[in-house]
């Protein structure tokens, strides 16, 4: 499938705007990953916590920024959620990272690394596809009614659209999919009903060019104004009497200082 074509599933869900919406999803993902990489570099840490936490936040925020002003778009906030979600018509976009490298196939994708949160369970219960078979509920409630709804007053027929991505701080963006899936157990394992690979590269093999918004409070040490270095020549009397006024280099001063501290 070329970069200008959409799958039958995407066309059914988004109509003629499927290609434009898919490109905004791709743009938002690339921006979030680029910003997370910048944050990791600026942190100077060998641990990857900065990348992961930044990407976790920006995967929602970049979607909101890029979709906010479009027709038929609403920005909604689930109850008790730390993030906002994008509603395009009757399609609720939900991004998550399913892998940190390219060794996990999308068929083995999970949402999260432990048990599903009540919030995510509620989103699937309200807006996810219904399984074609009956099994024990994945959540435990006294009346087996499922978790409390976290979004109300959305259009009837709203569907949960998953945006599954793989990325890390070294390789950057790896894979990006979107589609619909049933969550099959309490650990976030998915059974895909429809899914589409979103191409991140142009026909020439290069990543699609996107503008990456600046992160707040990420000023680097080399972004400031360089100081004005004033050079003062040695007085003539010192140059003519070097035996009395010897020249001391910066290297000599640093060596002497280090030796003094060692003693």
Beta bridge partners of 62: none
pLDDT of residue 147: 74
What is the per-residue DSSP string for 45-77?
Answer: -SSSHHHHHHHHHHHHHHHHHHHTTSTTEEEE-
pLDDT of residue 73: 97
pLDDT of residue 199: 93
In a domain, 39, yes or no: yes
pLDDT of residue 221: 33
pLDDT tens for residues 27-74? 999 999 999 999 999 999 989 899 999 999 999 999 999 999 999 999
189: tokens are: 């394992």
Structural domains counted in the chain: 1
Q: Which domain holds residue 98?
A: 8-197
Beta bridge partners of 75: 86
In a domain, 168, yes or no: yes
Q: Which residue positions in the chain have pLDDT lower than 50? A: 1-3, 134, 216-232, 244, 247-263
Please tell me the pTM assigned to this model: 0.74
In a domain, 13, yes or no: yes
In a domain, 257, yes or no: no
pLDDT of residue 253: 32
pLDDT of residue 178: 98
In a domain, 221, yes or no: no
In a domain, 94, yes or no: yes
54: tokens are: 């930044």
pLDDT tens for residues 95-123? 999 999 999 999 999 998 888 999 999 99
Within 13 A of 60's CA, how many CA atoms are on the CB side?
A: 15
Using an 8 Å Cβ cutoff, are 23 and 35 in contact? no
């Amino acid at each position: 499938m070329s970069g200008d074509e959409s799958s039958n599933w995407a066309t059914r869900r988004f109509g003629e705007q499927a290609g434009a919406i898919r490109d905004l999803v791709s743009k938002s993902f690339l921006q979030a990953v680029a910003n997370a990489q910048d944050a990791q570099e600026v942190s100077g840490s060998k641990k990857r916590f900065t990348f992961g936490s930044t990407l976790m936040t920006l995967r929602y925020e970049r979607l909101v920024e890029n979709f906010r002003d479009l027709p038929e778009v609403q920005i909604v906030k689930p109850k008790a959620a730390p993030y906002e979600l994008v509603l395009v018509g009757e399609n609720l976009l939900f991004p998550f990272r399913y892998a940190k490298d390219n060794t996990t196939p999308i068929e083995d994708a999970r949402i999260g690394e432990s048990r599903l949160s009540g919030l995510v369970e509620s989103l699937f219960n309200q807006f996810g596809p219904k399984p074609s078979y009956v099994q024990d509920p994945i959540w435990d409630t006294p009346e087996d009614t499922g978790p409390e709804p976290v979004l109300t007053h959305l259009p009837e027929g709203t569907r949960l659209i998953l945006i599954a991505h793989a990325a890390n701080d070294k390789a950057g963006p790896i894979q990006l999919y979107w589609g619909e899936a049933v969550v099959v157990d309490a650990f976030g394992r998915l059974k895909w009903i429809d899914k589409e690979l979103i191409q991140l590269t142009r026909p020439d093999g290069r990543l699609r060019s996107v503008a990456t918004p600046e992160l707040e409070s990420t000023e680097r040490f080399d972004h400031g104004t360089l100081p004005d270095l004033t050079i003062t020549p040695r007085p003539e009397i010192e140059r003519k009497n070097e035996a009395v006024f010897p020249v001391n280099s910066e290297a000599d001063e640093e060596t002497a200082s280090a030796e003094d501290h060692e003693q």
